[in-house]
Homo-oligomer: A and B are copies of this chain.
Amino acid sequence: MPFPETIEKIVSLAKRHGFVFQSSEIYGGAGSVWDYGPLGVELKRNVKDRWWNAMVRTRDDIEGLDAAILMHPRVWEASGHVAGFTDPLVDCKTCKGRFRADKLVDAQCHQKPSRHPGDPGTPCVLTEPRQFNLMFKTFMGPVEESAAVVYLRPETAQGIYVNFLNVQQSSRQKIPFGIAQVGKAFRNEITPGNFIFRTREFEQMEMQFFVEPGEDMKWFEYWKAQRMEWHEALGLDPARLEFHQHTKTELAHYARAAFDIQFDFGGALGSQEIEGIHNRGDFDLTQHQTFSGKRLEYFDQPNNRRFVPYVVETSVGADRVTLALLVNAYREETVAGEEEGRTVLALHPAIAPIKAGVFALVKKDGMPEFAHKLADDLRRRFPVYYDESGSIGRRYRRQDEVGTPYCFTIDGQTMTDSTVTIRGRDDLKQVRIAADQVASRLHELLAKDRPHARIEDLL
C-alpha cells in the first residue's frame, strides 16, 4: 500500500463522495472553514459517539456537559486568554502580506512578485512584531459597546471549570471524577490550512479529570495510556502514532506535565498533534476562584476538609482525528486478476459512514425488488446504500472508496435459493449466506469491533 505523499487525494475523494466540502464554496469559500457532507457527517458523528461512549456512557466516574459557546467575558480574563492568547505578527511592506513572526521561515507571500524572506526576488520589508489576539470577538445586546464584548470560546475546557461545582454537586460524584464535553471552538488563526487539520472553526472532545493533589501524576499516566489505546483501537497504525513530551520551553507556565499524541500524516505535514494530555494542577480552578470571588473547592466529607482539586486534561480535535482516520485508511491497491486497481478507505467498520452496500446484479427478474426490500429492512438498524446502476465491479469500487465494510449482492441464484453473496472490503472474499440471515450476520460482524472488514471473521 503506497504511503500517501500528500493529502490532495483525500481532499479530492472527500469532495467527490461528500465527506467534506469547502464552506460557502459557491461564493468562493470562507477562509479555512469546511462543511461535512452526507458521508463526512456520519463519519465524524461515529467518531464523536465512540468517544462519548468510551469516556462518558460506559464509565461511572465521568459526567457529560454541553456548555455554551458564548460565555461571560471575565472567563477569558481568568483563563489568561485575553492577555496571553496571542500570536506575534509582522506586516510586509512590499507584498502587504501578514505573517507570524515566530514562523517566518515557513511564510509564503500570497502576492507576487515578492518572495518570502530569504528567497530570491524582491525582498520583504517587515514591520516590528505586534501581538494579535486569536479569539473571535462579538457583541452581545443590540449596540456595539465595550461592556457587551463577548468572545467565541477558543476551547471548551473553561466551560467545564466554571461548572465544576454545579456538576459535582448535582451528580453527587466524589473525587476522582471527570467532566467531558464535545463542542465547537473558534480561533482566528493567522495561518490555518492543511484541509481540516487547522481550521478557524473546529470541534473538540475534552475531558477534565479532577483529582486530589499528589494523585495527579498517577492519573496523568493512566490517561496517557487510555487515550493512546483509544486511537489504536480505532485502527490508527501504531507505527504512525507516538507520544511527544513537552519540553520545559514548550510547557505552558501552569502545566506540570504535558504529552501530545502525534499521528504521522505523511508528506509535508508530517507527525502532528491530534490529542494533548495535560496535568494542569490547580491553575484553572484557582484562577476562576480569584476572578469570580466564588469558592471552587471540593468538600472531602470523610476527612472533613476542603481543597482545590488538580486537573488532568485530555483534549482531542474531532476534525484532526477524523483527518488522521482518513489518511490512515487511504490505500491505492492492485487487485489480483484485475487490470484496474482500486482505491479503498479501510476505515474501522464502527466509524464507516455506510455499513453495507446492497446491489441487484441486474435490473430485471425480480432482483431490484428483492434487493430493495433487503435494503429497506437493513436500513431500520444500519446505514445502507442501495445501488443498481453500472457494472457490479464499479459498484463495489464505489463502496470501497467510501469505506463501506460489507456488500450484499442479489443475483440470479438468489431468486431460486434465497441466498445472497456477502463481500468483505478488506479481504475481497465472497461467500453466500441466507438472505434472512443478513441482518443478524451484519450485526455479528459489527459487534466484533475489529478495525478491518474481512469475510474470514464470519467463518
> Using Cβ atoms and an 8 Å threshold, which residues of chain B touch A23?
67-68, 70-72, 159
In which size bucket is the chain A interface?
A: 35 or more
**Most interface-central of A68, A150, A292 (chain B CB within 10 A):** A68
Supposing A162-B24, A188-B142 touch, asked if A375 and B60 sit within 8 A by C-beta, the answer is yes
Q: Is the C-beta of A294 less than 8 angstroms from some C-beta in chain B?
A: yes
Question: Are A166 and B37 interface neighbours, CB within 8 A?
Answer: yes
Q: Give the CA-CA distance A35 to B64 in the complex, in Å.
A: 11
Stretch at the interface among A107-115, A263-271, A378-386: A378-386
Question: Are B89 and A66 interface neighbours, CB within 8 A?
Answer: no
Question: Are B159 and A35 interface neighbours, CB within 8 A?
Answer: yes
Q: Mark A26-66, 1 if CB is under 8 A from B, else 0.
A: 11111101111111111010000000000001111001111
Chain B nearest CB, measured from A289 CB (Å):
9
Name A165's closest neighbour in chain B (CB-CB): B26
> Using Cβ atoms and an 8 Å threshold, which residues of chain B touch A35?
65-68, 159, 163
Residues from 69 to 83 in A contacting B, C-beta threshold 8 Å = 69-72, 74-75
Q: Is the C-beta of A98 less than 8 angstroms from some C-beta in chain B?
A: yes
Q: Is the C-beta of A190 less than 8 angstroms from some C-beta in chain B?
A: yes
Question: Are A170 and B18 interface neighbours, CB within 8 A?
Answer: yes
Supposing A27-B292, A66-B36, A142-B132 touch, asked if A60 and B163 sit within 8 A by C-beta, the answer is no
> Would you give 18 A-B contacts (Cβ < 8 Å), ordered by A?
A21-B163, A24-B75, A27-B162, A27-B292, A30-B68, A30-B70, A35-B65, A35-B66, A35-B159, A38-B167, A58-B379, A68-B201, A136-B138, A137-B138, A139-B188, A141-B188, A142-B190, A152-B152
